[in-house]
Structure 1
């Protein structure tokens, strides 16, 4: 199943994102030997600060097993600013309907071999189909993606061969890298689904999305809970004392009359004049 995390909801999925960044560190840093920055076991670069969209594969145990990042090409992106050698002197592609797809990876340690729903093959195809469907539903027509020759073969085997390439194949760490172009069409998505036997909705429903979110931090109560609140102590003696103070502090006949009316309302009686202060005997 697929969860999409973007700038609007990323604050709710800290645990999911941490697992995703850890997966990227294992794949791109350890396995592929790319020159990536890894801190505390997580691979995060400055493009992750641009609020990209992440299409993330989740297994039945709620663990991250695959991921890919989608970023607009109208601003900074990897092909223009990091992998520019691939372009071989050509200007970077920029369009409001062209997204860059990078950091595509699957967890080969957790996933099985074969063709089951928990296999590397199925998770790869599910992520490809979901990322294309998400892009299409967002108004994107094409994707440019930086891949290695192995991923290029995976795309071809999955009936998702790029329709074109940009620039040239360039050495990158232990492998080479290239830029491929994919259209976000229903035909391409359907081909991937048929190849992997994927049916139904690819994305998690609202209930599962809520279950995957971080547990909310309980808010500190601003009032005493009802069950622990205590009734204030209010005796007749306390009321009489309050009334005496109001009458004693009266500075005019109007204030004194108002204080007497208050006493009558609270106590059902008129306070004796000798307890009210100097104005009471005027």
Structure 2
């Protein structure tokens, strides 16, 4: 599922951003060999301080498995200030209806092969769908993106081929880099969805994301769940009920229901259930 983190809600998802910056360090610093700044295992550059929007893919356990950054082209951005060699001396494209998409990355170590959910292919397509739909809904008409030839082939195979390119292909670390143009149209999104077989809404709202992240944190802190098993359907139900609770009284009702099921769960499971909604209540 996809969440969007920007200047308005980034204080709620600081741990997600840290995990994303760590993924970027592994992909762009280690795997691709780009000349990027990595500190404390995180890849962060000057453009991350300009309040960009991040479109981030999470797996069923709340782990960051894919991410991309969206930045306005009317101010500083990577193609104009870092990858200017691509432009062959031409002025960078600037428009209020064009965003730059950079730092597109997918966790190939955590994800599986194939096209099913939690695969590299699925996460890649889901992230592309999410970024295009988010941009379109924000009034953006075009995206310019700095990619390598491998990503260029991925776009073409996914019914999402660029409609044009800017400048030339230049060496960048272990690979080459080029700038491609994508329109944010219903036709492009529909073609991508058809290829991926993804027809449902890909976005997760903030409450759902916070509940998932709280469950992840509780599972990591609970010795009874050190193997990080996914939540059962009943456990997910309690997390959803806690997420839907609007008042402290409603939260207490959910807790009482969990406590009433002592005979149904083992002591370890009961503790995990109690800790998960309390963690969410604390985060909320």
- Asked if Structure 1 and Structure 2 have the same fold, meaning a TM-score greater than 0.5 normalized by the shorter chain, the answer is yes
Q: Which structure has the highest helix share of the two?
A: 2
Matches of 2:212 and 2:65 in 1, distance apart? 14
Tell me the residue number matched to 1:103.
103
Deviation at 1:212, TM superposition (A): 4.8
**1:3 counterpart = 2:26:** no
Deviation at 1:34, TM superposition (A): 0.2
Q: Is the 8 A contact 2:61 2:212 kept in 1?
A: no
Deviation at 1:181, TM superposition (A): 0.1
Tell me the residue number matched to 2:145.
145
* Aligned pairs, number: 215
Matches of 1:206 and 1:79 in 2, distance apart? 31
C-alpha change, 1:102 and 1:55, in structure 2 (3 Å) is: same
SS in structure 2 of the partner of residue 47 of structure 1: helix
Q: Point out where structure 2 has 5 or more consecutive residues left out of the alignment.
A: 218-284
Tell me the residue number matched to 2:119.
119
Deviation at 1:113, TM superposition (A): 0.2
Equivalent residue runs for 1:36-185 within 5 Å: 36-185=36-185
SS in structure 2 of the partner of residue 134 of structure 1: helix
TM-score normalized with structure 2 length = 0.74
What RMSD, in angstroms, separates the aligned Cα atoms of the two structures?
1.1
Tell me the residue number matched to 1:224.
none
Q: Point out where structure 1 has 5 or more consecutive residues left out of the alignment.
A: 216-282
SS in structure 2 of the partner of residue 118 of structure 1: coil
TM-score normalized with structure 1 length = 0.75
**1:191 counterpart = 2:191:** yes
Deviation at 1:213, TM superposition (A): 6.1
Deviation at 1:207, TM superposition (A): 2.9
SS in structure 1 of the partner of residue 167 of structure 2: strand
Structure 1 range deviating more: 201-210 or 34-43 = 201-210
Tell me the residue number matched to 1:261.
none
Give the structure with higher Rg (CA): 1
The superposition leaves residues 230-274 of structure 1 with CA deviations (integer Å, 9 ceiling, x where unpaired) of xxxxxxxxxxxxxxxxxxxxxxxxxxxxxxxxxxxxxxxxxxxxx
